Structure formats: structure tokens, C-alpha cells
Amino acid sequence: MDQKIKYATIGTSWITEAFITGTQLKKSMKLNAVFSRDAEKARKFGLKFGCDTIFNDIQELAAYEGIDAVYIASPNSLHYSQSKLFLQNGKHVLCEKPITVTPAEYEELTELADKNKLIYLEALMIAHHPEREKIKQALEKIGNITTARLDFSQLSSRYQSMLEGKTPNVFNPAMAGGCLMDMGVYCVFPAVDWFGIPDKIFTFAGKVSSGVDGYLNSLFIYSDKQVDISLSKLGQSVLGCEILGDAGTITIGFIVEMRDVFLVKRDGKKETVIRNYSRSELMSSEAESFCSYISHFNTSEKEYRHVQNQTLKVLRVLDQIKGLARINENSCCNNNPL
């Protein structure tokens, strides 16, 4: 039986709780330390999961010999510096999306991880979905695909706070906030994974008062299809996503978890493509991939390199969208009341 990977967490939000719960499903990882800049917050958070080893000094945590790895769920702008610190201290890193703000940062840290014989992985649930291949097989059944609409529009729980004049992290440019950085990977990753790098991209974004994008639309142009990416933190979508082929349509209720995925044939008959998984199950799956890359690198290296390559492709596309959004921002945002 493989030895458990001892890990620490950075971040005390709901997503960290969901990750810890996910690791408990398979028991390949053991929570050995909790970090927060607020020691009391770290103590209370750790108690929820039976962990009484806490840190409020990140340098001390990075040097702590009681952990093999770290799970990072801090604001986006901190991902690069925190990941680098732990890689320099010989710790494997599983970092929430976006793993870095720029492709160059990711390439630098990938090189550092390889040099130190460490695993450096983005915590993206859909990249490690247990039935990811079944979705690809379903796409092959709907004939010639010419149109797809991939949407992640979710009214932010911090929206009211922003309207009150505050600047929560998700709307803070200093924290690399905004809908593209916070949500974009969930639509861009499937587009790149299923259809490849687009030949051309058109993008328009609407800014909120803090200066970040609150909503964004991007059109991916391929030689034989078009894929529309729509994102918003200012409104709630109820329609989900669609991939249209001449022999049928794939519908996805919630792309973040690949929930409610159906194949609708031309005659109207509807088939379930995959079962729904809980968020903890999906986070368990990404944790298992992380552990496999650490414990069985010789047999899992090919898969790990593929995931690395996909991550870099997606980061490059996100970076291109970000640049286009800056160019086009004045043409779509003048009437934004926020």
C-alpha cells in the first residue's frame, strides 16, 4: 500500500474545505498542516478536520518537514509566488486555477519543478473528470460539429459587496480578479481539449467599477466551426452549454462539474452521457491524479506531461483573450453603470 502524501493547505475558504473532504474519500492524502495569515482562523479551520498543526508564517510552512506537498487556494495573484516558494523548498504543488496569471510564469515554474523532481499541477476538476473520455466519445456521435456555446455565468456572492463600494478579491485587479481569470478556464479548457487551438479569436469585455472584467464574450474561429465563450460574474445563467452537430446535440447543464450532460439525437431522443458527480468526488479525482504523478511517476509521466501541455495551451489562449479584451474594452463598456 502506498504511503499517504502529507500535505498542507493555503486558504480557508469553501473550496479548501471541499478539497479536504475530497481527499478523505480515497485516503491517499493526509492533512498535516493549515496556513492562514490569521493564526486563530487557521486554528479554527484545522479543528474542523482534526489538524492542530497551524502556521501563519508561510516561510516557516514551506520549510516544514512534516509535509510533502501543498494545496494552494489563495487569490490568483499569489499563485505564482507561493507555488515558487514551495517548489524551491522541495514540496509538490497542487494549485487552484488559474495556476498562474501568465504563461511565462507557468513555464518558469514547470522548469523549476522538473529540476527539483517535483509535481506541479493545476487543480482543475474537469481535467481529471472520471468520465472525461465518455464525453469525447459522445462528441463523435453527433456528426459534423459547426457550432458550440460554452457558458459559465454565475452571479458572484461578492457582487453586492462591490456595489456597496468595496473591492473583494474576485473584483480586485491587484489580485488578478475578474471573470476571465476567475472563471474562464472552465470554458476555455474544454474548447481547447475538444477542438484544439482556435485559428482566430474575437473578444469583448465589460468592466466593473474596480477596473476588472465583470462579463466577457469571446468567439473562437476554427476552419470548420465556431465556439462562443460567454462568462459573467454579474448574472446567473440557467441555460447551460450546447455543442451542435448535424446528427445531434450535446447539452451540459453546468460545465464546471460537467453536470447534466446529455446527447439529444435528431429524432429528439435524449441519452445520459455520464452520471453526475459531487464536487467532493471530482476533487477527489484530481487529488488522486496528483498522488499518482508523485507516487508512480514512471508509469504516469506520459499523462502528466499531456496535462502540463494542455495547461500551457489554455494559459496562452487566456492570455490572448486578455489582450484582446484590453484592446476592445472601450467599445463595449461606456454604458456600464457599475
DSSP code per residue over 216-277: EEEEEE-SS-EEEEEEESSS--SS-EEEEETTEEEEEEETTTTEEEEEEETTS-EEE-S---
What is the count of structural domains for the chain?
Answer: 2
Question: Where in the sequence is the domain holding 9, given as residue range(s)?
Answer: 5-123
Q: What is the pLDDT of residue 326?
A: 82
SS3 106: helix
**How far apart (Å, rounded) are the C-alpha atoms in residues 45 and 19?**
13
Q: Do 48 and 156 share a domain, yes or no?
A: no
CA 62, 25, 129, 185 torsion: positive or negative? negative
**257 domain residue, yes or no:** yes
Q: Could you tell me if residue 289 is inside a domain?
A: no
| Same domain as 259, residue 156 | yes
Q: In terms of Cα–Cα distance, which of 241, 131, 263 is closest to 188?
A: 241
Among candidate residues 150, 121, 122, 120, the one with its CA nearest the CA of residue 135: 150
Element at 293 (helix H, strand E): helix 279-295
Q: How far apart are CA 7 and CA 220, in angstroms?
A: 39
Cell matching residue 209: 467599477
Domain boundary among 123, 158, 179: 123
Q: For the domain that residue 71 is a member of, what is the CATH number?
A: 3.40.50.720
Q: Are 103 and 312 in contact (CB under 8 A)?
A: yes
Contact assessment for residue 288 and residue 280, using Cβ atoms and an 8 Å cutoff: no
Does residue 219 fall inside a structural domain?
yes
Q: Work out the number of other CB atoms within 10 angstroms of the CB of residue 129.
A: 19
Looking at the domain assignment, is residue 300 inside a domain?
Answer: no
Domain match, 24 and 64 both? yes
Q: Is residue 209 part of a domain?
A: yes
Pairing type for strands 145-153 and 226-232 reads parallel
Strand partners, 150: 229
CA pair distance 215, 235, nearest whole angstrom: 9
What pLDDT sits at residue 331?
Answer: 43
CA distances from 286 to 11, 166, 196 (A): 18, 34, 22
Report the CATH number that the domain containing residue 146 is assigned in CATH.
3.30.360.10
Residue at which a domain ends, from 73, 105, 123:
123
- Written as nine digits, the cell of 59 is 516561510
Give a yes or no: residue 308 inside a domain.
Answer: no
Assess if residue 38 is contained within a domain.
yes
Does 137 fall in a domain? yes
Based on the fold, state whether residues 108 and 220 are members of the same structural domain.
no
pLDDT at 27: 84
Amino acid letter, 51: C
Identify whether residues 76 and 189 lie together within a single domain.
no
- Residues in the chain with pLDDT values less than 70: 1-2, 327, 329-338
In this structure, the answer to whether residues 194 and 326 fall within a common structural domain is yes
Nearest C-alpha neighbor of 153 from the set 229, 218, 220, 100: 229
Does residue 229 share a domain with residue 160? yes
To which residue does cell 496556513 refer? 35
Say if residue 28 is in the same domain as residue 152.
Answer: no
The Cα angle at residue 269 between residues 267 and 271, in degrees rounded to 5 = 140
> How far apart are alpha carbons 75 and 78 in whole angstroms?
6
Same domain, 158 and 88: no
Asked which of 63, 94, 123 is the last residue of a domain, the reply is 123
Q: Are residues 85 and 159 both part of a single domain?
A: no
Are residues 204 and 323 both part of a single domain? yes
Same-domain check for residues 170 and 59 = no
